[in-house]
Chain A
Amino acid sequence: MVAALPLTLRGATLRRRGRRLVGPVDLTLGPCGVTVAIGPNGSGKTSLLRMMHGLQRVAEGAVDWSLPEAEARQRQAYVFQHPIALRRSVLANLAYPLRLRGVTRAGARAKAEEIAARFDLTAQLGQSAPSLSGGEMQRLALARALITMPEVLFADEPCAALDGAATREIEGHLTAAAASGTRLVMATHDMGQARRIADEVVFLLHGRIHESGPAARFFAGPSTPEAAAFLRGDIVE
């Protein structure tokens, strides 16, 4: 199968009403591993992920997949910081992406039940999704994103509102997905989580990539004073 990766961003810039949200960004995402975007609030982590996923159109520059855009879109999934539940049952939420792709009702149902078991949601299958707890909801969002077995998974602060146990569960699912070949691109403000998961780090500041590189080297000794300050826990402006 021809891969959607690598993804190449060249001078990619996102603007809203004239204001620059992120960019210009030059970045290449290779075929495997976990890339974690870190940086202070407002540095453009979310915008970077949304731009790569194509939720927003770039104002300048280009976001190029190795496949035509329509095909590349079919191989990605995105988990939002605030999970969006369709006003349907958990089962229907899980089956939804498959149904969009034309999978039969029975086929989608079987897959949904299978992934629900993996994500410990079997008991909730018949429940209305908007009534789930925060942890269950994020598990549902992740399971729903992974049910299509995407080549690339974007996750924007997937554990932002969760307690320790729920965070551990989500991280487990994320690393499992990465281990089985899904390219993971995640934004987080939790440095511990970044250290636990990242293979590669992108440090953003003021909407630009300030520093990037292999996680081990970055955490051992960042090459810019701002990144070092950020890792120390100082306020970086």
Chain B
Amino acid sequence: MLLRALLLCLLPLAAAAETMRMAVTTSFENSGLSEVLLPAIAAETDLDVELVVVGTGQALRLGEAGDVDAVLVHARTAEEAFVAAGHAPHRREIMYNDFVLVGPADDPAGLAEATSATEALARIAAAEVPFVSRGDDSGTHKAELALWEATGLPPEGEWYRPVGAGMGAALNTAVGMGAYVLSDRASWLAFGNTEGMALLFQGDPALFNQYAYLPVDPGKNDDIAGDAAARLEDWLVSERAQSLIDGYRVSGEQLFTFNATR
């Protein structure tokens, strides 16, 4: 086994399958879904998909530079701008999960009584209890800002704390400060360090989080694996992918809902 590991290490690209790179968001990677999908993809399409795990902003920049062959993110406005700028021929919706509001279990702002996501945020602002924002231009961050805009309240003040970090780091920070935070459900359920924290608000359709697949324009440079990206797209919208995505459970809960149109 040691020898095998050594060979793996010395010959990282020796696998027979075709290799392609896809930039995905931290929240997708943290959900653990990739560990179910990638082996199935390798077995059924002979594609070795390497995931470059970054924030949405960086993922789109990697696609723009032609450093990855495809991008799987969740930030509709930015994605549409990406397509409009010609970096990807089209945008394909694959699935959605949803955001949840997480905070200290004693719920000082009373989120449990809110009837909508905007009301929940308004309660946090009114109570001026600490709120951790990703603050990293990620899809989650953009979704959070859109929700704040809907409340009409500017997220400003001592209590509003943009940390400029990934979902996991932001959750860790929120746990440390006893703050509220907007998280995707997957990251929250897979998160190990939940001490004193609880899921306090969920279910508003305004919190739905659409993931879309963007194959990078193969015309950017000769090294972009356009065919592989197309094969991956075909697989991602297949029935097989649907059953894997819909069937994925963390702590007994379904995280993602497949909604691609074939």
Q: Do chains A and B touch in the complex (CB under 8 A)?
A: no
Please give the residue numbers on chain B whose beta carbons come within 8 Å of chain A beta carbons, in ascending order. none
Give chain A's interface residues, CB within 8 Å of chain B: none
